[in-house]
Structure 1
Amino acid sequence: MTEYERSRTMPAPPEHVFDQAAHIDQMDTWLPDDLHVDAGDLPAVTVHEDRTDADTSAVFRAQREQMRLEWGTRDQGGYAGWLQVAGIGSGASEVTVHLSFFDDGHDPGERAVREALDSSLERLEEQVRLRVDNAAG
């Protein structure tokens, strides 16, 4: 099993960050460019990967009371992850994303995963900023 984890501070309360991250119809705005989530009958979702042009059955759960998202492959069990939002005071939050690859065939490698996680967290922060700026203006 291989695990990866990245964190980023965001300039918004945890509730705002969580709501943006958990909005399943807007996940394409912050997920890696080649991943798209299609909500089925939650918690069931389908994840489409452009690189392989493959659809994968997965599960997605949002636990607002814990400010946590969890997901993973449904049939083959090769991959799982979570996103945790925590308030750090002064209206800011820290977001941590953790990925676990149980099957080496699903692991694209450390460099690719770290770049994807950093890019996704940066894009999520942009979406959070847009939401906060629009709410304030």
Structure 2
Amino acid sequence: MAEYERSRTMPAQPEHVFDQAANVDQFDAWLPDALHVHAEDPPAVTVHEDHTDQDTSALLRPERDRMRLEWGTREQGGYAGWLQVAGIGSGASEVTVHLAFFDDSHDPGEQAACDALDRSLRRLEEQVRMHEHPAG
């Protein structure tokens, strides 16, 4: 099993960051370019991967009270992950994304996984900034 984790500080309240991260209609704005999530009957979703042109059945569970988003494959059990948002004071948040690959065939390798996580966190921060609203 391989696991990868990255974090990023964002200048926004944790509730706002979580709302942006958990909005399935906006996933394409921050997930890696090759992945697309389509909501079915929540928590069921389909993840389409452009590189393989394959759809994978998955589960997606947002837990707003914990500021946590969890996901994973349904039938194959190939991977799982979570995103956690934590307030760090002064209106800022820390976002951590964690991926676990249970099947070596799904594991892209450390460099590729960490690069994708870093890009996704940067894109999420851009998404948060685009939809920023005044603190109140």
TM-score (norm 2): 0.97
Task: Tell me how far 1:131 sits from its aligned partner.
Answer: 1.0
CA root-mean-square deviation: 0.6
Equivalence map 1:103-118=2 (5 Å): 103-118=103-118
Residue 11 of structure 2 corresponds to 11
One-letter amino acid of the counterpart of residue 43, structure 2:
P
Residue 76 of structure 1 corresponds to 76
Residue 31 of structure 1 corresponds to 31
Deviation string for 1:47-90 (max 9, x for gaps)? 00000000000000000000000000000101000000000000
Structure 2's unaligned 5+ residue stretches are: none
**Equivalents in 2 of 1:109, 1:129: separation in Å?**
30
What SS does the aligned partner of 1:107 have? Answer: coil
What SS does the aligned partner of 1:106 have? Answer: coil
Equivalence map 1:59-98=2 (5 Å): 59-98=59-98
Task: Tell me how far 1:107 sits from its aligned partner.
Answer: 0.2
Task: Tell me how far 1:43 sits from its aligned partner.
Answer: 0.4
One-letter amino acid of the counterpart of residue 115, structure 2:
E
Aligned residues: 134
**Equivalents in 2 of 1:127, 1:106: separation in Å?**
27
One-letter amino acid of the counterpart of residue 41, structure 1:
D
What SS does the aligned partner of 2:42 have? Answer: coil
One-letter amino acid of the counterpart of residue 112, structure 2:
A
What SS does the aligned partner of 1:80 have? Answer: strand
TM-score (norm 1): 0.97
Deviation string for 1:84-114 (max 9, x for gaps)? 0000000000000000000100001111101
One-letter amino acid of the counterpart of residue 130, structure 2:
L
**Equivalents in 2 of 1:13, 1:120: separation in Å?**
19
One-letter amino acid of the counterpart of residue 116, structure 1:
A
